[in-house]
């Protein structure tokens, strides 16, 4: 790819054209500190377009020079015959050879290339030639991320939102997706807990015929979320409990009644009464631990006391 070097006025460089931006790093402090002493050691790469210049490589360098109020900079100007595809490849390789691209930068790279390679197979081949992952399934997923909201992308960058969850949030309406993204980022939940809460909130929304944002706006939910007297772990536990109770009120009531009567049975540490899963059946299990024949005889006495205890009848009949 041919280019010529020349001095270009900063005012002639289009700061709003992000066509070829790959990097997610917008910090310029390091460059602002070094440029006055070291100068611009690597010139940005520009493409002339309608008497202005589009940045192909060097977004941070140009921004830092603007901040320092330099009137002009030396830049590498690509030939006018340079195609958009060539510019895209130049931008991707310039970034990829400097460092390992993060997930958003990979997404931007795939997204730019997809303009020229409409089918995923040819896109994968082009990506491979530029040092990117050529897995078709991975490309299909990752290339979507750069189109999602800033909240979702920031969650992915910080590692608080997984790719799996980001894909689900990105296909919700913006208000809902951003609400989940901010919530997950604040509490720094594991993937399994994110999935659980996402499913619970969706189910509550359908069950109560309300929007997902309205589930979040509930006063009880907000009271837990903004309680300054508890840490993230406690908030997470209380929110999960709240959502479970709201989603399955009958099961929650059955559990509370079971626990109340279970205490009155006074089973002791060697005896356990296990209810049916989610209280959907009628079969209970009784577990007795013993070490010898005398222990077993003692458990028989315990069993007789349990049978005579009126609390057992209430448990089996599921009355409060």
Is 238 found in the same domain as 154? yes
CA-atom Rg of the chain in angstroms: 31
The answer to whether residue 93 sits within a structural domain is no
Looking up residue 47, the CATH number of its domain turns out to be 3.90.1530.10
Q: How far apart are CA 2 and CA 257, in angstroms?
A: 78
For the cut 90, the answer to whether the pLDDT of residue 152 exceeds it is yes
Mapping DSSP to helix (H, G, I), strand (E, B) and coil, where does residue 317 land? helix
The answer to whether residue 235 sits within a structural domain is yes
The answer to whether residue 292 sits within a structural domain is yes
Residue 195, both tokens: 């999935």
Is 301 found in the same domain as 240? no
Closest C-alpha to 216, from 191, 260, 252, 186: 186
For residue 11, the model assigns a pLDDT of 93
For the cut 70, the answer to whether the pLDDT of residue 1 exceeds it is no
Is 154 found in the same domain as 178? yes
For residue 320, the model assigns a pLDDT of 67
Looking at the chain, the number of H-run helices and the number of E-run strands are 16, 6
Phi, psi torsion values for 73, nearest 5 degrees:
-145, 160
Q: How far apart are CA 251 and CA 259, in angstroms?
A: 12
For the cut 90, the answer to whether the pLDDT of residue 64 exceeds it is yes
Q: Give the chain's domain count.
A: 3
Phi, psi torsion values for 274, nearest 5 degrees:
-110, 120
The answer to whether residue 143 sits within a structural domain is no
Q: Which of 247, 271, 304 is the last residue of a domain?
A: 247
For the cut 90, the answer to whether the pLDDT of residue 7 exceeds it is yes
For the cut 90, the answer to whether the pLDDT of residue 131 exceeds it is no
> 297 lies in which domain range?
260-317
314 versus 187: the higher-pLDDT residue is 187
For the cut 70, the answer to whether the pLDDT of residue 19 exceeds it is yes
58 versus 269: the higher-pLDDT residue is 58
For residue 154, the model assigns a pLDDT of 92
Is 242 found in the same domain as 165? yes
Mean per-residue pLDDT, 193-200:
92
User: Is the Cβ–Cβ distance between 1 and 86 less than 8 Å?
Assistant: yes
Q: Which of 82, 102, 122 is the last residue of a domain?
A: 82
Mean per-residue pLDDT, 229-252:
85
Averaged confidence pLDDT in the chain: 88
The answer to whether residue 16 sits within a structural domain is yes
Predicted TM-score of the model (pTM):
0.73
Is 289 found in the same domain as 233? no
195 versus 284: the higher-pLDDT residue is 195
Residue ranges of E strands in 31-178: 45-49, 52-57, 72-78
Q: Which of 223, 247, 271 is the last residue of a domain?
A: 247
For residue 245, the model assigns a pLDDT of 82
Is 286 found in the same domain as 209? no
Per residue in 262-313, pLDDT (tens digit) is: 888 888 788 888 888 777 778 888 888 888 888 888 778 888 888 888 888 8
User: Is the Cβ–Cβ distance between 249 and 299 less than 8 Å?
Assistant: no
Work out the widest C-alpha separation in the chain, in whole angstroms.
98
The answer to whether residue 32 sits within a structural domain is yes
The answer to whether residue 114 sits within a structural domain is no
State the DSSP string of 110-150: HHHHHTT--SHHHHHHHHHHTTS---HHHHHHHTTGGGS-H
For residue 31, the model assigns a pLDDT of 93
User: Is the Cβ–Cβ distance between 56 and 85 less than 8 Å?
Assistant: no
Q: How far apart are CA 284 and CA 273, in angstroms?
A: 7
Mean per-residue pLDDT, 54-67:
94
The answer to whether residue 87 sits within a structural domain is no
- Find the helix or strand (DSSP H, E) in which 203 lies: helix 191-208
Is 4 found in the same domain as 76? yes
Per residue in 245-274, pLDDT (tens digit) is: 888 767 667 777 777 888 888 887 888 888
User: Is the Cβ–Cβ distance between 35 and 74 less than 8 Å?
Assistant: no
């Amino acid at each position: 790819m041919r280019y010529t070097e020349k001095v270009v006025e900063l005012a002639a460089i289009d700061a709003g054209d992000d066509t070829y931006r790959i990097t997610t790093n917008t910090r310029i402090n390091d460059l602002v500190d070094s440029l006055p002493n070291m100068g611009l050691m690597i010139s940005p790469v520009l493409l002339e377009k309608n008497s202005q210049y589009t940045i192909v490589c060097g977004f941070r360098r140009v921004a830092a020079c603007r901040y320092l109020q330099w009137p002009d900079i030396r830049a590498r100007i690509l030939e006018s015959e340079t195609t958009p595809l060539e510019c895209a490849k130049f931008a991707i390789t310039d970034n990829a050879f400097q460092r390992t691209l993060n997930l958003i930068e990979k997404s931007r790279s795939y997204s730019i290339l997809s303009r020229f390679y409409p089918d995923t197979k040819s896109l994968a081949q082009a990506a491979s030639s530029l040092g990117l992952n050529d897995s078709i399934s991975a490309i299909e997923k990752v290339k979507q991320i750069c189109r999602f909201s800033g909240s979702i992308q920031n969650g992915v960058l910080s590692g608080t939102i997984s790719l799996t969850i980001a894909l689900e949030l990105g296909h919700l309406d913006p208000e809902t997706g951003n609400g989940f993204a901010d919530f997950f980022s604040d509490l720094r939940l594991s993937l399994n807990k994110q999935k659980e809460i996402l499913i619970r909130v969706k189910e509550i929304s359908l069950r109560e015929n309300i929007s997902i944002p309205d589930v979040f706006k509930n006063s009880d939910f907000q009271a837990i979320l903004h309680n300054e007297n508890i840490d993230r772990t406690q908030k997470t536990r209380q929110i999960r409990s709240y959502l479970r109770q709201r989603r399955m009120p009958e099961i929650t009531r059955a559990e509370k009644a079971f626990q109340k009567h279970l205490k009155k049975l006074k089973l002791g540490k060697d005896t356990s009464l296990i209810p049916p899963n989610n209280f959907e059946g009628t079969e209970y299990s009784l577990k007795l631990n013993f070490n010898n024949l005398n222990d077993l005889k003692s458990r028989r006495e315990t069993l007789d006391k349990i049978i005579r205890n009126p609390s057992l009848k209430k448990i089996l009949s599921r009355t409060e």
